[in-house]
Amino acid sequence: MTTPASRSILTIGAGIAGVTTALEAADAGHDVVLIEREPSIGGRVLRNHNYFPKLCPPLCGMEINVGRIERNPRIRLMTETEVIAANRKAIRSGGGESITKCCQCGTCTAVCDLTTAEIASPRRQVQLARWGLMDELAADPAIWLCHQCNDCTSRCPKNARPGDVLQAVRAKVIERLAVPAVLGRLVAKANVTWPVLLSVPILFFVASLAITGHLAVPRAPFPHGDFAYELFVPHSLIYAVFFPTAGLVAAALWRSGWRFWTGLDGAGSRQGSFLASLWPVLVEIGTHRRFGDCGTAHNRKTGHLALVWGFIGAAVTSGLLIVEIYGMGEIMPLPLEHPFKLLGNLSAIFLVVDGIMLVRNRLAKESESGASTAFDSFFLSIVALVIFSGVFVEAGRFFLPTALNCALYVVHLGAVLCLFLTTPYSKSAHLLYRTLAMVHERMAFAPS
């Protein structure tokens, strides 16, 4: 004679129906987890004065059931607890609507050129997303080693779009690891919060100019002949805003990155030096080598490279200008033939090319670019606004009215501030998490 294996049962809600179900299942030999989101069990029945047919207070019968639960070792009662199935709903609403179509055939993993024996994807990750297991997904480096080349999506026989599912999972993980959490939720809901996210930094600069007495548009003749934006927005105000902002953003990235890094402890034992593994990872990111392995979306490599190096060039130019102004006493604006000006303009060209390519790729077929979501569109829109407002600010000095130049400059500074502030919570955070995931991969699975 064989005895059937015991099956665990999850009972959601500890009202009279849930309590009865749990007790009868336990009596039948099953282990039961009974969860209730309220501090106590009983549900709506306890709100009644008497109940049929005995017409006695409901507390009488509930006390008996509470005693039976306490005496039954097969029942585990968890109050003030909720299920995590809402995570799957969030993934579906974040671009992973096709998640339920997956039949776990494994085609996606078979065609992925980036998957490895140690960190296989995306089949496993799609299944975890279907179950709503965000804790496991947040600690899985595979979702960041995916570059969404969409080879899996283009070949999926069920049109489950694994690339879009992992894209939605990454957005959810960014929100989950965000510090402070409120900013993560704010950016995650960019479809409704984008006016606030963009207008607040712009209005902040307007208010700062008004408070410091610099809101008036400068009039000719200008002190050094040509109009310079420093006459409208002093460098000291820019430093007073962006230096503390950079510190706060760095602190948020550090905290979120540390939470992610420690969460990877269960995904392989790391050995060796972090810094020794970081350098080859940065070289790989700087060359976008893995993008070269993509088939369906291989054309995205050029656009992403232009974005990375365009912003690096712009950052280097900004640092050099500070040295030029305060170390060498140079007066702005610099002549067009100045080496620093040439570097800045070259970076701007890279960024303009990138902006055009990103928009073009986003408008391409979804099988190639992936589904567009508010999370992606917000980031792309802010990047485009920073790029093109910066170009107009630079070129506008030569042919636009001073008042319009000043207005464009405030919009540009506000867009840059918005991009800075949302870095830990938007697609910009991909750079942090993907870098850490790649370092973890090298430390945990690289051949010794």
Q: Are 87 and 172 in contact (CB under 8 A)?
A: yes
Predicted TM-score (pTM) of this structure: 0.74
Task: Please give the Cα distance from 383 to 418 (Å, whole number).
Answer: 10
Q: Are 266 and 139 in contact (CB under 8 A)?
A: yes
Pick from 290, 227, 221: nearest CA to 435: 290
Structure tokens at 196: 């606030």
Please report the pLDDT score of residue 96 as a whole number: 58
* Angle between helices 430-445 and 235-263 in degrees, nearest 10: 40
Pick from 42, 193, 147, 164: nearest CA to 101: 164
Q: What is the sign of the dihedral through the CA atoms of 385, 391, 393 and 396?
A: negative
Please report the pLDDT score of residue 5 as a whole number: 45
How far is C-alpha 296 from the geometric centre of its chain's CA atoms? 23
* Boundaries of every domain in the chain: 9-79, 86-177, 182-445
Please report the pLDDT score of residue 289 as a whole number: 79
* pLDDT tens, the chain, 448 aa long: 343 444 678 888 888 888 889 999 998 888 998 988 888 887 777 666 676 666 667 666 677 878 888 889 999 988 877 665 555 666 665 555 677 788 888 898 888 888 877 777 888 888 888 877 788 888 999 999 888 888 888 888 988 888 888 888 899 899 999 999 999 999 999 989 999 999 999 999 999 999 998 888 888 777 767 788 888 999 889 989 999 999 999 999 999 999 999 999 877 788 889 999 999 999 988 888 777 766 666 667 777 777 777 778 887 887 877 777 777 766 667 777 778 778 877 887 877 777 777 777 666 655 555 666 778 888 888 988 988 888 888 888 888 888 999 999 999 999 999 999 999 999 889 999 999 999 999 998 876 5
The SS3 assignment for 56 reads strand
User: How many CB atoms sit inside 10 A of residue 16's CB?
Assistant: 19
Please report the pLDDT score of residue 83 as a whole number: 64
Structure tokens at 322: 């500070």
> Which DSSP state fits 332?
S
Pick from 409, 360, 79, 65: nearest CA to 217: 409
CATH 1.20.1250.20 for domain 9-79: no
For residue 431, CA distances in Å to 25, 273, 282, 383 come to 49, 20, 10, 15
Of the candidate CATH numbers 3.40.50.720, 3.30.9.10, 1.10.10.10, 1.10.1060.10, the domain formed by 86-177 belongs to: 1.10.1060.10
Q: What are the residues whose beta carbons fall under 8 Å from the beta carbon of 423, sequence distance 6 or more? A: 249, 253, 429
| Cα-based torsion angle of the residue sequence 428, 430, 384, 350 in order, rounded to the nearest 10 degrees | 110
Please report the pLDDT score of residue 240 as a whole number: 93
Please report the pLDDT score of residue 3 as a whole number: 39
- DSSP strand pairing (75-79 vs 32-36): parallel
